Amino acid sequence: MGENTLPRATHPEVIALLDELVASGRPSSRTLPLPDGRRNFDELIAPLTDYPEVGAVEDGVIPVGGRDVPVRVYRPRSPAGTGTSVFLHGGGWVFGDLQSHDGMCRSITRRSGITTVAVDYRRAPEHPFPAAVDDAVGVVRWLAAHGAQIGVAARPLAVVGDSSGGNLAAAVSLVLRDEAGAEGSPVTFQALLYPATDPAMTTESYRENADDPFLSADEMVWYWSQYGGGRAPGDPRAALSAVTDLRGFPPTYLLVAGLDPLRDEGLAFADALRRSGVPVRCREYPDMPHGFLLFAGRLSRASDGLAEVADEIVAGLGGRG
């Protein structure tokens, strides 16, 4: 959460959540030493999310470039859909991990009936751009070639991510589009949930929501700087707004939150995809803040949104079996 901010929220559940967060007295994670900040981020989310039962949850590793990338595989109790969903968590490329987004992955898996593979990519500032992109792309490449080794469908694949994870999901689509051979990219669908796409941070929604208590403009300046090793990266694999040709991107579901500094860049990215001929379904939750899908234990809109995300993934991967 931002510091010294006044809530603009009007939805009663969001106001109640803000009151609960303020009463908890937790500091901003970025003001703490890095290990403490990461623990604080996870502990803030844990009691506020929802953890539905799924068929099985398995931790493992996938080899990428001579190193092992940790992953968590969520298998549905009653498989109902085709393909596999690869999930990339948010947290400003600095915070977040397999545990912080465990509830989101469980919700998506249970509703969709599709296996989810969550990726514990390397984080900044220890591992600045492009480490996270390299890990994410490497995992998707490996699954496309060897998914059967861990009992998941190699194709079709969806990439899914929230916030900075949405940035990484779109970066995966970009890299694999550019290197696709005769078989094409293994990514059939992408779901981008309030994604960060533009390090310029100059949109109207940045001005409207500069002091939002869930994500402030000042926090985003800090996150981009951490990710870029001291300044916001200009490489199009990070600055997706700089990509001028989005032809060949997979069909997209893009969700934005109305009270989010990232709202307008998400809408602009959806428009850019459409102009390139990419099928896009864009959904705005006007009275929700950034990160609201993490709070399914408190926000009914979060539960609704996760159900919609899951349904879009099912449709994007070819429907229920």
82 within 8 A of 156, measured Cβ to Cβ:
yes
Residues contacting 191, CB < 8 A, separation 6+? 158, 159, 160, 161, 169, 252, 253, 254, 255, 309, 312, 313, 316
Average pLDDT, integer, range 16-42: 95
Cα 302 from Cα 226, distance rounded (Å): 28
How far lies 275's CA from each of 238, 241, 272, in Å?
A: 20, 13, 5
Based on the residue annotation, tell me whether 198 is a catalytic residue of this protein.
Answer: no
Q: What is the pLDDT of residue 321?
A: 58
Active-site annotation holder among 163, 164, 173, 303: 163
Cα 243 from Cα 246, distance rounded (Å): 7
The alpha-helical segments, DSSP class H, found in 228-299 are 263-275
Q: What is the pLDDT of residue 184?
A: 87
Q: What is the pLDDT of residues 256-294, one digit of tens each?
A: 999 999 999 999 999 999 999 999 999 999 999 999 999
Cα 58 from Cα 238, distance rounded (Å): 30
Q: What is the pLDDT of residues 154-171, one digit of tens each?
A: 999 999 999 999 999 999
Q: Computed from CA positions of residues 17, 21, 24, 29, in that sequence, does the dihedral angle turn out positive or negative? A: positive
Average pLDDT, integer, range 172-182: 90
In 3D space, the residue among 294, 301, 309, 217 whose CA is nearest the CA of residue 42 turns out to be 294
Cα 142 from Cα 160, distance rounded (Å): 17
Q: What is the pLDDT of residues 183-236, one digit of tens each?
A: 789 999 999 999 999 999 999 999 999 999 999 999 999 999 999 999 999 999
Residue whose tokens read 């500032």: 125
Active-site annotation holder among 11, 89, 101, 290: 290
Strands 157-162 and 84-88: parallel
Whether 137 has a pLDDT exceeding 90, the answer reads yes
Based on the residue annotation, tell me whether 164 is a catalytic residue of this protein.
Answer: no
SS3 content of the chain, % helix, strand, coil (to 5): 40, 15, 40
Radius of gyration of the chain (CA): 18
Active-site annotation holder among 205, 260, 264, 303: 260
The pLDDT mean for the chain works out to: 95
Based on the residue annotation, tell me whether 276 is a catalytic residue of this protein.
Answer: no
**Which H/E stretch holds residue 59?**
strand 56-64
Cα 158 from Cα 63, distance rounded (Å): 20
Domains, in order of start, for the chain: 24-316 (3.40.50.1820)
Instruction: For residue 182, name the pLDDT band (cuts at 50, 70, 90).
Output: low
Q: What is the pLDDT of residue 10?
A: 86
Whether 9 has a pLDDT exceeding 70, the answer reads yes
Instruction: For residue 56, name the pLDDT band (cuts at 50, 70, 90).
Output: very high
Q: What is the pLDDT of residue 320?
A: 66
Q: What is the pLDDT of residues 63-88, one digit of tens each?
A: 999 999 999 999 999 887 789 999 99
Q: What is the pLDDT of residue 305?
A: 98
Cα 58 from Cα 72, distance rounded (Å): 6
Q: What is the pLDDT of residue 78?
A: 86
pTM (2 decimals)? 0.96
Average pLDDT, integer, range 295-318: 97
